[in-house]
Structure 1
């Protein structure tokens, strides 16, 4: 056989296939029997196919997109070389591998599984956007487009598709969304976006869902801003936002709602104790912002809390109630939190709330009235509303300990004859070893001098440095890692019944009069309920 071109009468080259074979004639001689076939169209089709394949290869070499083909029946996936160029490693070859040991971000995996299931079931076309990790562990946004091929029976047998790198496009779009939705300084949601998201959550609320709104205001921020300048004030706001984000989940709504005001809206389970712990952590975390730089004017915060459905079921109502609770904290001395309560207690130990400050919860220092911290109000609410006094007492110790940054908060109760005392309640901060188990029957006589003599006429024992204590008392406290302490006696009709105290295991602590007054009140409160 031979393929060659001949010139037609019209002068056009024509491809022919010349098939020749040796044959014997009648006269016994051999001769060639040749048959010519016009194969011009076949050659043209072959040339076109060659050009098409070459064109496809040129396109593949010039594009960054990844072409893939999935043999559905044989479950084998092949990719163009661009996969390794983009991701830096060999791709997975089967659908089972892709779905089990994939480099796809886990939260995006359901989209890919749906796309592959739809293709297997005969869907003609599908798309998905998901994130795939490269060899550096960075996730890149990709768009997958897939077209299905069928056999003569109409069953899906193959899928051909492309993987597009849309990472820059997606990140640019997200940056634009962030600019529209978020506060530029703190990167929390802005007021308008938070409103919309909260309203949507409330509209979709289930019958058993519980939500809470926490309205946070930075105490003394204006004074800090005026004295240190707006640039430092911006640093404080940004740090406050960062600490709030560290305390809450990604599904919670965190927003900057004003100059120095923040709002948190979250779905929660359990009772008020859950929210109390969260609010206590907020107060503790924000109190420690730039402690060294703000030693002369420390930053604190106040938190007002309203719940849904208890306090309201629409945005405006819940916001108003949390704002009222915040106002109550401000009135009671700031640096704490309060729940909105329609039946705010009218009497505390027989006194109106408005009279609380004037009836022993205020002190005079240099002719200046100092309002007792609102911790006392929170403590009363916990005890008044709790069905389990012991649980409430533990919660108060934790709240007070975190609020004041103590290492340990505890209660000691004396024996009936007053000869010994024991540690009945204890809260320890992170990293502090409990001491309660070793303090269950401490004889006052074993402490050398009568330990109760340390308490002054106001029932306060304040020691800035335990090294100044008598030997036996120092050794007992030093073994617990204590460096300084503040304790307040608990009395019943003048009789010493025990004490409530705070230890600091890190610092030689200086306690201010406001904190001492709060401890006095809490000691009386706990003693009454116990």
Structure 2
């Protein structure tokens, strides 16, 4: 039964037929308060579930969160004598989880709230600074348990250090996105990243101005034909290196074809500034390579397209910059053109 104050009391009811006549039945009933015993049984059940969950994780970090006391306990690994148990009081009252990496806090809070809402078993990869070891990648495997009160009162599980494996995984992901020769983003990654940026800007109704540059190296075929493809690869790597040195931060540099590159300039000051930077890039990429038949000049033709809210799709922005690039190419090369009605 639930009392007015919300506390649940358990009772054991035993009844026996004492006597019976044609007119009536007499039944004796014994009512015992079984609350303590019930709570003990429930606690034993919780302990059994914890042992079942944690029995195979010796050497890893065990955690136990008690929602009633709002205390989190993280046990130090038995294999590392330098570690010590971490006890965090008022755990759910913490507005800032200082030991969680800033970019991972939102994911951690979402994971925690979902587990405490209803009994479930879930996992999360997150960067944390535990045991004064600096930020490392950990996998949290937790199981939230429904208490006798009718809500989640406990969460137990293990925290596994996956730092080295996670770094290898990230390295492989980066390699999958990179062009092997130039170490710029490959075509697929370039489109994916810029599409994501434009989508975010569109959803947020951003007032920023962005620009897309399409760069095609002039006379590159003459390099391959006269000096060989190996030398051509060196020319591409050198050009890409100059672009990466010039564009950093939120800018995106990618190779989308044999001698064609894309640069997404994030949050530019104005159109005039974009054109000035494009001219500087043209000058930077202009190089002469010696050949027995005479120096081969490699320059660049650049097309520029700018965008603001409402932001276009990537393919539309690319087509604009690409069309402007061909205007530069057909106008004597070694120049840049801004996409517009006067092209």
Please, what TM-score do these two structures have when normalized by structure 1?
Answer: 0.43
Distance 1:343-1:124 versus aligned 2 partners, 3 A rule: same
Superposition RMSD in Å: 4.4
**Superposed CA offset, 1:266-315 (max 9, x none):** 55355302422442453355458999xxxx656543321023369x9455
Q: Which SS does the other structure have where 1:67 is aligned?
A: strand
1:71 corresponds to: 66
**Superposed CA offset, 1:117-167 (max 9, x none):** 444555544432212468997854322122224543234443211123444
Deviates more, 1:204-213 or 1:322-331: 204-213
**2:111 is the counterpart of 1:115:** yes
2:259 corresponds to: 260
Q: Give me the whole-angstrom Cα distance separating, in 1, the residues matched to 2:57 and 2:308.
A: 59
**2:185 is the counterpart of 1:186:** no
2:149 corresponds to: 153
Q: Is the 8 A contact 2:54 2:157 kept in 1?
A: no
Deviates more, 1:189-198 or 1:105-114: 189-198
Q: Give me the whole-angstrom Cα distance separating, in 1, the residues matched to 2:182 and 2:192.
A: 19
- Unmatched 5+ residue regions in structure 1? 1-48, 345-530
Alignment coverage as a number of residue pairs: 283
Aligned pairs for 1:70-469 (under 5 A) are 70-72=65-67, 73-81=69-77, 84=80, 92-94=86-88, 95=91, 99-102=96-99, 104-121=100-117, 124-132=120-128, 140-167=136-163, 170-171=166-167, 173-174=169-170, 177-178=173-174, 180-196=176-192, 198=194, 205-206=202-203, 210-226=209-225, 228-248=227-247, 251-268=250-267, 270-283=269-282, 285-287=284-286, 299-308=298-307, 313-344=312-343
Q: Give me the whole-angstrom Cα distance separating, in 1, the residues matched to 2:279 and 2:214.
A: 13
Q: Give me the whole-angstrom Cα distance separating, in 2, the residues matched to 1:316 and 1:117.
A: 39
Q: Give me the whole-angstrom Cα distance separating, in 2, the residues matched to 1:143 and 1:315.
A: 36
Q: Which SS does the other structure have where 1:93 is aligned?
A: strand
Q: Is the 8 A contact 1:66 1:83 kept in 2?
A: no
Deviates more, 1:257-266 or 1:229-238: 229-238
Q: Which SS does the other structure have where 2:148 is aligned?
A: coil
Q: Give me the whole-angstrom Cα distance separating, in 1, the residues matched to 2:286 and 2:94.
A: 50
Q: Is the 8 A contact 1:92 1:98 kept in 2?
A: no
Q: Which SS does the other structure have where 2:183 is aligned?
A: coil
Regions of 4+ moved over 6 Å? 134-138, 288-291
Q: Give me the whole-angstrom Cα distance separating, in 1, the residues matched to 2:229 and 2:264.
A: 28
Q: Is the 8 A contact 1:67 1:163 kept in 2?
A: yes
- Unmatched 5+ residue regions in structure 2? 1-46
- Bigger radius of gyration: 1
Distance 1:56-1:180 versus aligned 2 partners, 3 A rule: closer
**Higher relative contact order, chain-length normalized (CA < 8 Å, sep 6+):** 2
Q: Is the 8 A contact 1:186 1:241 kept in 2?
A: yes
Q: Give me the whole-angstrom Cα distance separating, in 1, the residues matched to 2:79 and 2:272.
A: 52
**Superposed CA offset, 1:181-237 (max 9, x none):** 442222333324434555566667356665432101223434444555433432332
Q: Give me the whole-angstrom Cα distance separating, in 2, the residues matched to 1:216 and 1:138.
A: 42
Q: Give me the whole-angstrom Cα distance separating, in 2, the residues matched to 1:263 and 1:129.
A: 33
Aligned pairs for 1:468-507 (under 5 A) are none
Q: Is the 8 A contact 2:303 2:336 kept in 1?
A: yes
Please, what TM-score do these two structures have when normalized by structure 2?
Answer: 0.62
Q: Is the 8 A contact 2:187 2:255 kept in 1?
A: yes
Q: Give me the whole-angstrom Cα distance separating, in 2, the residues matched to 1:289 and 1:169.
A: 45
Q: Give me the whole-angstrom Cα distance separating, in 2, the residues matched to 1:213 and 1:299.
A: 22
**Superposed CA offset, 1:233-254 (max 9, x none):** 3233234334434444565443
Deviation at 1:256? 0.8
Deviation at 1:69? 1.6
**Superposed CA offset, 1:369-424 (max 9, x none):** xxxxxxxxxxxxxxxxxxxxxxxxxxxxxxxxxxxxxxxxxxxxxxxxxxxxxxxx
